[in-house]
Amino acid sequence: MHMIQRRDFLTQLSLATAAISLPQVAFPSAPKADEFVEVAITHGRIRGMRKEGVNLFKGIPYGGRISGDRRFRRPAPLEKWTGVRDALEFGAPAIQNPRRNEPAPSEDCLFLNVWTPANDHKKRPVLFYSHGGGFVVGSGASGGQDGSNLARNFDVVVVETNHRLGLLGFLYLDDIGGPDYAGSGNMGMLDIVDGLKWVHDNIAQFGGDPANVMIWGESGGGAKTSCLYAMPSAAPYFNKASIESGPGVRMTPKETAAETTALLLKELNIDPKDWKKLLDVPAADLLAIQGKLPSVAPFLGKNTKGAVLRRAGGFGPVVDGVVLPHHPFDPTAPALSKNKPLLVGWNEDEYTFFAWERKDTEFAKLDFDGLQKRLEPQYGEDTPKLIAAYRKARPNATAPQLYIAISSIAMMGLGSVDIAEKKVKEGGAPVYLYNFGYKSEKPIPGTDYPMGTPHAMDISFKFNNEIPPRDGSAPKESFFGGNRPERFVASHHFAELWTTFARTGKPAAKDVPQWPAYNLKTRPTMRIDAQCEIIDNRFSQELAMWRSIGKL
């Protein structure tokens, strides 16, 4: 596969592949509980389970029906229930291909999960996570995201939602649907906001502080977090944010979203004036049609002249001027969140995930002539300058190493730096820039090239799920993280930095250097590993080149 810069990477893969090919960790659907726990919430009583020092509540409904005449609209009111409702099984994920060890996908998917040390009214920080998978796949029970260790080891409350995805969550009908379908292009994001409202109304019952909520997410979840950071409806319900390997600088303009809707109607042979026939199309058929439409980035790049690129196809948040008033970080950081601290960053070897997932072994055989040929389709006449800058900055690097470095920063690094710089220029709350750098020794299948720090490897690390077994048995090899015991230290650092940020607004951890806020003079970046370090002006030569060719 040719080298793909950030916007084209997202266009081709639409961030949908991001984290969808991770093996699904087998969360037991009904583990044996140490005891059961009941709690009263706004709509009735629920029963969860206590297991190894953590109370877990699965599949709590936070919104009503979104099928039938509620398709593409706001949910029906959630009805209260009598008696005690079990919250012992994960709720249905949004419509997508079936997910191993999870319930069958369903249109009615508005469920969330809560992990807490205790339902004791202690005001713990709340970590509200949006799953990856672009805007088309994933769930709040995705592999690696079990919140038990974060809750147990760092005394926080973790919440994860299911919400509408794909065309059922992001089909733009505002121009043809009338007032009942206002905001239709952002139903999936408004679902997440409803999850945040649920937290505001209920999380005190779970030992969480509704006045101290951090939104965070990886890959597509980072892009969702970028949107929430700029959405007026979300603003009252969170206090800080973290955008991880998913810098959502720009989203889909409504004009492009309208073109996508036209493409869909044409594919289904539905006249625009008869668009309501969409309400009768089975969800499975809509999913199949979704796969036939051109894949497009859920957030868009710019060309070298600064114009936002427009490509019809694909589904993600729409800059409709109301729900999402403007691009999240273009032309500036959102004034709405000026006083909310932010973490942003990426993994050092993002592309190795996609090499693994796409079975791309050819990159590992590149020489420097081959490197130029592989980059030229994306960078044209700028290719020699780009390679020269990287060879100067990294004189000992091989051609495959430079390919991974260029691909990885183009995918997730440039947008992350852009966000950090714009947040600094706003002059409000601090922003902290990071690189995750723990190196997995596992080779990419078919090559001798190590995974390093691939896209999505941060999930299990920041959730503190890289940890020796509690029963004292020998540790199993981590799927991406490998076998080295240093991974346990790196995971603890990552989790402690994030939970401290959630608690105080400033990331810190024992045995980790003090992390200065990002600024435009020294540009400090935290490199997260078994031994963390602060690096000033990291990638300065490389970033200067990206700026010179109009990519940053």
**Catalytic positions, written as ranges:** 219
Distance between CA 445 and CA 5 in Å, rounded? 24
Q: Is 208 left (phi over 0), alpha (psi -120 to 50) or beta?
A: beta
Decide if 196 contacts 238 (C-beta within 8 A).
yes
Per DSSP, 371 falls in state H
> How many residues belong to the chain?
552
Neighbours of 36 (CB within 10 A): 14
Q: Which two tokens stand for residue 426?
A: 């706003």
CA-based max dimension of the chain: 70
| Long-range own/partner contacts, residues 74-78 (CB < 8 A, 24 or more apart) | 74/183, 74/187, 74/190, 75/110, 75/191, 75/194, 78/43
Quote the crossing angle between the two packed helices 540-548 and 383-393, to the nearest 10°. 170
Q: What is the CA radius of gyration of the chain?
A: 22
Nearest to 56 by CA among 132, 160, 130, 137: 160
Residue 371's Cβ-count burial label (10 Å; 0-12, 13-18, 19+) is buried
- State how far the alpha carbon of 99 is from the alpha carbons of 20, 95, 298, 377, in Å: 10, 10, 22, 36
Task: Phi first, then psi: give them for residue 498, nearest 5 degrees.
Answer: -70, -40
